[in-house]
Amino acid sequence: MTRLLKTLAAVLAWTFLGVAASAQPPIPRYEVKRASTPITVDGVPNEKAWADAGKVELIFPWESQTGAKQKTTARLLWDDQFLYVSYECEDADIVAQHTDHDDPTYLDDAVEIFINPNPAQTDIYFGLEMNVRAVLYDYIMYHPGRLFKQFDLRGVKLATHIDGTLNMRGDKDKGWSLEVAIPWANFEALSKRPEAGTVWTANINRWDGVEPNRRMSNWSDPVQPRPNPHAPTRFGQLVFVK
Ligand SMILES: [Ca+2]
Ligand SMILES: [Ca+2]
Ligand showing the shortest atom-to-Cα distance for residue 128: 2
Instruction: Give percent of the chain above pLDDT 90.
Output: 90
- Give distance in angstroms: CA of 20 to centre of ligand 1: 34
What is d(CA 112, CA 31) in angstroms, rounded to the nearest whole number? 19
| Domain locations along the chain | 27-240
Residue 38 has pLDDT above 70, yes or no: yes
What is d(CA 75, CA 36) in angstroms, rounded to the nearest whole number? 14
- Give distance in angstroms: CA of 137 to centre of ligand 1: 18
Neighbours of 34 (CB within 10 A): 15
Is residue 212 reached through a cis peptide bond, with omega within 30 degrees of 0 on the bond before it? yes
What is d(CA 176, CA 196) in angstroms, rounded to the nearest whole number? 31
Beta carbons within 8 Å of 142's beta carbon, 6+ residues apart: 123, 124, 148
- Give distance in angstroms: CA of 91 to centre of ligand 2: 27
- In terms of phi and psi (left: phi > 0; alpha: psi -120 to 50; beta: otherwise), the region of 82 is beta
Bridge partners (DSSP) of residue 84 are: 77, 181
What is d(CA 34, CA 149) in angstroms, rounded to the nearest whole number? 30
**CATH numeric code, 27-240:** 2.60.40.1190
Task: Give the residue-averaged pLDDT of 112-118.
Answer: 98
**pTM of the entire predicted model:** 0.91
- pLDDT tier at 4 (50, 70, 90 boundaries)? low
Ligand showing the shortest atom-to-Cα distance for residue 214: 1
Tens digit of each residue's pLDDT (9 = 90 or more) over 197-219:
999 999 999 999 999 999 999 99
pLDDT at 113: 99
Task: Give the residue-averaged pLDDT of 141-157.
Answer: 97
